[in-house]
Amino acid sequence: MTGKTILYVEDNAMNRKIVRDLLKRTSYRLIEAHDGEAGVATALTERPDLILMDIQLPKISGMEATRRLRAEAATAATPIVAITSFALSGDEQKAKDAGATAYLAKPYSPFDLLSLIRKLLPET
């Protein structure tokens, strides 16, 4: 049986590698996108069970990508974790206003990320 699918939308290759390595030891299947537009397109075609969305992305921001995904029936209820390295006062609320289910500030520990993923999307 195939594990649940997680889409990671992140423009930084090193950050994608860290998450890829973290999830190798789990039952999750990881797919990746490198900018906001690709993230929206991938989410709509692949229908992931969870989306990890960086906020600072090329082409369209993670906030805008989240808003677009919430407007689509196919992804309206998909959990989205907003991830940002610019954790300023009010950012968490802005992410949630855009439709994010949860918020995680960089730098984060891999344990914290995996714990949040498992809380929102228990492994099968």
Query: Tokens at residue 84, please?
Result: 């940002």
0.85 cut: is pTM over it? yes
What would the DSSP string read from start to end of 69-91? HHTSTTTTTS-EEEEES---TTH
CATH class of 5-118: alpha beta
User: What helix, strand, coil percent values describe the chain, rounded to 5?
Assistant: 40, 20, 40
Q: Which of 8-22, 50-64, 81-95, 99-113 has the lowest mean pLDDT?
A: 81-95
Q: What is the DSSP letter of 66?
A: H
Give strand pairing partners of 83. 54, 104
What average pLDDT does range 82-98 have in this prediction? Answer: 81
